Amino acid sequence: MKRDRIKALLLHTTQGDSGTLHRESQFVVRYSDEALARPDLAISLTMPPRPEGYSTNRLPPVLAMNLPEGFLLNRVVDLYRKTLDVNDEMNLLAITSTPAAGRAWVSPVGGAAASMGDPISLRDILAYRGAEGLFNELLEEYGTPSISGVQPKVVVPERSQTGTVVREKSSVESPDLIVKAAGPEYPGLPENEFICMSIAKHVGLATPDFWLSDDRRLFVIRRFDIGPNGYLGFEDLAVLTGRHPSRKYEGSYGDVARAIGDFVAPRHRAASLESLFRLIVLCCLLRNGDAHLKNFGVLYADPVSAENDAHLAPVYDLVNTTMYLKKDVLALSMAGSKSWPTRSALADFARTFCHIVNPGQVIDDLIEKAMAYRHADAQSEVWKRIRHELKLGVDTIRSDRASRARRSLHA
């Protein structure tokens, strides 16, 4: 017999305890008296402390943000289905949320928070032979903490070669590394992501540190949401547009740009919007049809400091999807369409939503730099496929310029 549904959970942030989440006729967030006097204890930029709290029909997006999906969700179901209804989101949150989830997390009322396993060295991960065996071992050791996304992945604490944890944190054990494997339906995905992230870095976009294992079966990326005192605030665009993760493919890139403009610090607004435009153009060049609301985010120290330090998060989860889905299209709409945009559509978007006065120059710069990138292994089949798709992306963006040139010749 399955246990009753969990009725209450404690809410925590890097800055301290915030209050409770209750299951009533709706989900209800109630801030503690301390949190009402301390805006830095807000669990989200969209949910500042207030006496009446917040009521929602589904889990608040900031708490649903890191619920496991795909591979990891199936694993949690296999582990807990005999003892707990994991189709219930509050139950799922209770068993997967840990201090490793990020700045905001939950714990059982009267229970102890889960702890992480022993640190592991990056060199050992990258050099391991038989990556599938290692990944399964990592899942056994670290696989319960919440992390979103459909790809097989796990977060682990890094150990230096001298045997110590790489970074000392004052408040929480903070797993530094995210290790991703390829599912059977997406062969070559780790190398795919490594190449696409390398191109992002090559064209000048901010990226975390990342690596590809020696056998190319694991992609490893360092978390960018860790500061000197624990986890920084990170909220994806599903949260900031008030959407549950299940609605991550709803809306437009205009919605993303508006939310970025609303939530980043005024002094970072222009740079964040330009970086957003550059990333969207790169997604079109790379034929990344999975650039949905959860793959853009805002990073800040705490909700009080956000007025001065909130900015667009570094690039993450960047892949070529047309390798696997030949007819894939944009994840979100642009100018009412999900077709791959032309140069003029991108330029209109840049001027209207990102306030960029020279979008053509930005586009040309990105095309030149992306096409100049060379993978270390020129014979890699994954690289050859991505290079082919990149050329198609360039052709699509340039298509309306070529069309205009032809029309002018015949005028």
Q: Which of 312, 314, 267, 305 is nearest to 13 (CA)?
A: 305
Handedness of CA 223, 175, 79, 131 (dihedral sign): positive
- Mean pLDDT over 15-34 rounds to 97
170 or 40, which is more confident: 40
Whether residue 101 contacts residue 145, with contact meaning beta carbons closer than 8 Å, is answered with yes
By percentage, how much of the chain surpasses pLDDT 90?
A: 67
pLDDT band of 143, cuts 50, 70, 90: low
Q: Which of 102, 108, 117 is nearest to 158 (CA)?
A: 117
By percentage, how much of the chain surpasses pLDDT 70?
A: 86
Give per-residue pLDDT as tens, 228-243: 889 999 999 999 999 9
The domain 232-408: what is its CATH number?
Answer: 1.10.1070
Whether residue 131 contacts residue 38, with contact meaning beta carbons closer than 8 Å, is answered with no
Residue 335 in tokens: 């100018």
pLDDT band of 83, cuts 50, 70, 90: confident
User: With 70 as the cut, is the pLDDT of residue 409 above it?
Assistant: no
pLDDT band of 296, cuts 50, 70, 90: very high
User: With 60 as the cut, is the pLDDT of residue 206 above it?
Assistant: yes
What's the confidence (pLDDT) of residue 147? 61
Range with the poorest average pLDDT among 214-223, 233-242, 251-260, 275-284: 214-223
3-state secondary structure (DSSP) of residue 172: coil
What's the confidence (pLDDT) of residue 2? 47
What's the confidence (pLDDT) of residue 86? 78
Whether residue 72 contacts residue 152, with contact meaning beta carbons closer than 8 Å, is answered with yes
pTM recorded for the entire structure: 0.89
Q: What is the CA radius of gyration of the chain?
A: 22
CA–CA distance from 131 to each of 82, 145, 155, 182, 256 (Å)? 30, 21, 15, 10, 36
CA–CA distance from 82 to each of 1, 85, 98, 138 (Å)? 8, 8, 22, 23
Other Cβ atoms less than 10 A from the Cβ of 222: the count is 16
What's the confidence (pLDDT) of residue 197? 98
pLDDT band of 110, cuts 50, 70, 90: confident
